């Protein structure tokens, strides 16, 4: 994983361990989505994108966490495209 559970919980300002499983699941989904938007298949290649990739994963995890009931995935994907535009590959 590009980010740790601790980093995400700090970013989300979560102080308890009650939702660790939910947050961990959202982190995995967020990283997969970010890799897909960046058009990167290998985890190592995604991690090599550095801080941009890390911020995209934090953003998408936070979005998924905060909008669990009413997420607009199209809006989130557009934002991820904007965040990852500079490192996005032309194709898979």
Angle (CA) 85 86 92, round 5°: 70
HSE of 52, CA atoms in CB hemisphere, 13 A: 17
Query: 48-79 pLDDT, tens per residue?
Result: 999 999 999 999 999 999 999 998 999 999 99
Q: What is the pLDDT of residues 16-51, one digit of tens each?
A: 999 999 999 999 999 999 999 999 999 899 999 999
């Amino acid at each position: 994983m590009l980010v740790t559970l601790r980093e995400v919980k700090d970013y989300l300002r979560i102080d308890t361990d009650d939702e660790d499983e939910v947050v961990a699941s959202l982190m995995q989904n967020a990283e997969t989505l970010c890799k897909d938007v960046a058009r990167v298949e290998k985890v190592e290649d995604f991690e090599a994108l550095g801080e941009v990739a890390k911020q995209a994963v934090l953003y998408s995890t936070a979005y998924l966490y905060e909008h669990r009931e009413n997420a607009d995935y199209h809006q989130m994907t557009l934002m991820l495209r904007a965040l990852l535009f500079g490192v996005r590959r032309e194709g898979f």
